Amino acid sequence: MLSEVVLLRTSRFPSLETVYNNLNRCMEMLGGIDHFVPKGSKVLLKPNIGSVARPEEARNTDPKIIEGIIILLREAGIGEITIAESSIVGSDTSAAFEEMGLDKISKRHNVRLVDLKKEPFIKKIVPESLVLPYIKLSAIVDEIDIFINLPKLKTIFAVPISLGLKNLKGLLPDVEKKRFHHTMLAKAIIDLNKVVKTNLTIIDGLVSSELYEPKETNCLIAGSDVLAVDAVTTRAIGLNPAEIEYLRLAEEAGIGILDLKKINVLGEPLSEIRLDLKLAPDRSEAFSNLFPEVEIIDGEACSGCVASLYLSLKMVRSKGIMDKITGFKIVLGLGVEKIPSDEKVLCIGNCAKKLQGRYFLPGCPFTYMDFSDYLEKYLS
């Protein structure tokens, strides 16, 4: 039996009405919203609201998609709808909601808006786990009937492409997010998807996030099989889904269909779509080419710290204060045994604390806001 995925082209900078019509078209091609959400269901909408950012920065799921789905659900007679998220470590989820306008959307449609960092968490045993025998996650997963996954299409440092499977990390407490990044992230993502089942995934590709910068891609990708949706999106970017580790592991774990020959793509022909998004380069290549002003000494730091460092250096450059660290050696990760006897050494992240450098920025992971503040305070 083929898995069905809708690939839909959208107009540039669509209005709420246009987004609603596009979402309705997606649902109709998949059998209608009633096919996914029976009347009387308690529905959870899980967008990607990872950071405090404005909608036009394309860091988070476009609020028009969230509101458009709410309108569709209300028209289908669904009364109990919850929007829930836990933003990245060091970020204020409630502030992120407000910046994205979700507080207004929730009031306008009488929808519950939940900051999961302030809610209870439960422990789930992972059946046939790959790396984590148990996972702590939000208790809300046991309170709902239907889980609608609304990820942002992103290319990032932690994994080549961040889509539906990875979006479930927003159900975790901060301590568990750190645990994921300190273990085999690809396998941890699979373990998480073993204990949380997605009923419908709609990927926001209106304006994607290309290495944390907005990039127009003007599309929506939707389906009930989260792995199939991720596979179609990955191919649309020009990648082979089977070469993305966590997608391949998801297929082996029986989470969904990865083979494009077994996926019926509705809407636009996949062969005619190419979403031109840059992927994160190799660490050493990235930092030496993009930030030649500094030298990175990487002791196999986790993906959380690597991503934070990339964002930090971009912010420092955009603020015009790169001169404060020009010529510095930046050290991160557990694998560094000794630092150079040089005044210009900055150790970052808790893993580098043991090195006792003159300059040290704590955090697990540290945040790009902390990095900028540290430079202003101590390296002025």
Q: pLDDT (tens digit, 9 = 90+) per residue, 166-221?
A: 999 999 999 998 888 777 889 999 999 999 999 999 999 999 999 889 999 999 99
Please count the structural domains in the chain.
2
DSSP structural state of residue 379? -
Do 210 and 90 share a structural domain? Answer: yes
Domain boundary among 216, 246, 272: 272
* Residue 162 is assigned to a structural domain of this protein: yes
CATH number of the domain residue 96 falls in: 3.40.50.11440
CB 103 within 8 A of CB 58: no
**Residue 74 to residue 204: CA distance in whole angstroms:** 21
For residues 127-144, average pLDDT: 96
Three-state SS at 137: strand
Residue type, 314: K
* Residue 196 is assigned to a structural domain of this protein: yes
Residue 281 pLDDT > 80, yes or no?
no
Do 330 and 229 share a structural domain? Answer: no
Lowest mean pLDDT among 16-25, 128-137, 154-163: 154-163
pLDDT at 207: 97
Q: Which of 374, 373, 372 is nearest to 360 (CA)?
A: 374
Using one digit for the tens of pLDDT, what is the confidence trace for 27-66? 999 999 999 999 999 999 999 999 999 999 999 999 999 9
Do 207 and 297 share a structural domain? Answer: no
Give me the chain's average pLDDT, please.
Answer: 92
- Residue-range definition of the domain harbouring residue 11: 3-272
pLDDT at 282: 64
Residue 300 pLDDT > 90, yes or no?
no
Do 339 and 320 share a structural domain? Answer: yes
pLDDT at 44: 98
pLDDT at 208: 96
Residue 304 pLDDT > 80, yes or no?
no
Do 19 and 58 share a structural domain? Answer: yes
Domain boundary among 272, 292, 327: 272
* Residue 226 is assigned to a structural domain of this protein: yes
Dig out the tokens for 213 from the structure.
């910068």
Do 125 and 24 share a structural domain? Answer: yes
Do 69 and 39 share a structural domain? Answer: yes
Do 223 and 185 share a structural domain? Answer: yes
For residues 264-281, average pLDDT: 89
Report the percentage of the chain scoring pLDDT > 70.
98
Residue 284 pLDDT > 70, yes or no?
no
DSSP alpha helix (H) spans, the chain:
16-29, 33-36, 63-75, 93-100, 102-108, 164-167, 174-181, 185-195, 226-236, 245-252, 283-290, 303-318, 368-378
CB 255 within 8 A of CB 226: yes
Higher pLDDT, 327 or 279: 327
Dig out the tokens for 278 from the structure.
């840059």
Write the CB contacts of 168 (distance below 8 Å, at least 6 apart in sequence). 46, 149, 189, 192, 193, 196, 198
Tell me the pLDDT band of 380, cut-offs 50, 70 and 90: low
Put simply, whether the predicted model's pTM sits higher than 0.85 gets the answer yes
**Residue 190 to residue 129: CA distance in whole angstroms:** 8
Q: State how far Cα 210 lies from the chain centre.
A: 12
CB 76 within 8 A of CB 117: no
Domain boundary among 272, 305, 334: 272
* Residue 277 is assigned to a structural domain of this protein: no
What torsion, rounded to 10 degrees, do the Cα atoms 273, 278, 280, 286 define?
A: 160
Tell me the pLDDT band of 115, cut-offs 50, 70 and 90: very high
For residues 329-341, average pLDDT: 86
* Residue 379 is assigned to a structural domain of this protein: no
Alpha-carbon distance values, 100 to 81, 273, 307 (Å): 18, 29, 22
Do 159 and 254 share a structural domain? Answer: yes
Report the percentage of the chain scoring pLDDT > 90.
67
CB 43 within 8 A of CB 82: yes
Higher pLDDT, 370 or 280: 370
pLDDT at 60: 97
Q: Which of 135, 110, 139, 137 is nearest to 125 (CA)?
A: 135
Using one digit for the tens of pLDDT, what is the confidence trace for 361-371? 998 888 888 88
CB 103 within 8 A of CB 97: yes
CB 234 within 8 A of CB 244: yes
pLDDT at 96: 96
pLDDT at 122: 97
pLDDT at 183: 78
* Residue 278 is assigned to a structural domain of this protein: no
Residue 255: CB atoms within 10 Å = 21
Do 297 and 151 share a structural domain? Answer: no
Do 94 and 215 share a structural domain? Answer: yes
* Residue 318 is assigned to a structural domain of this protein: yes
pLDDT at 141: 96
Do 313 and 261 share a structural domain? Answer: no
Q: Respond yes or no on whether the N-terminal peptide bond of residue 365 is cis (omega within 30° of 0).
A: yes
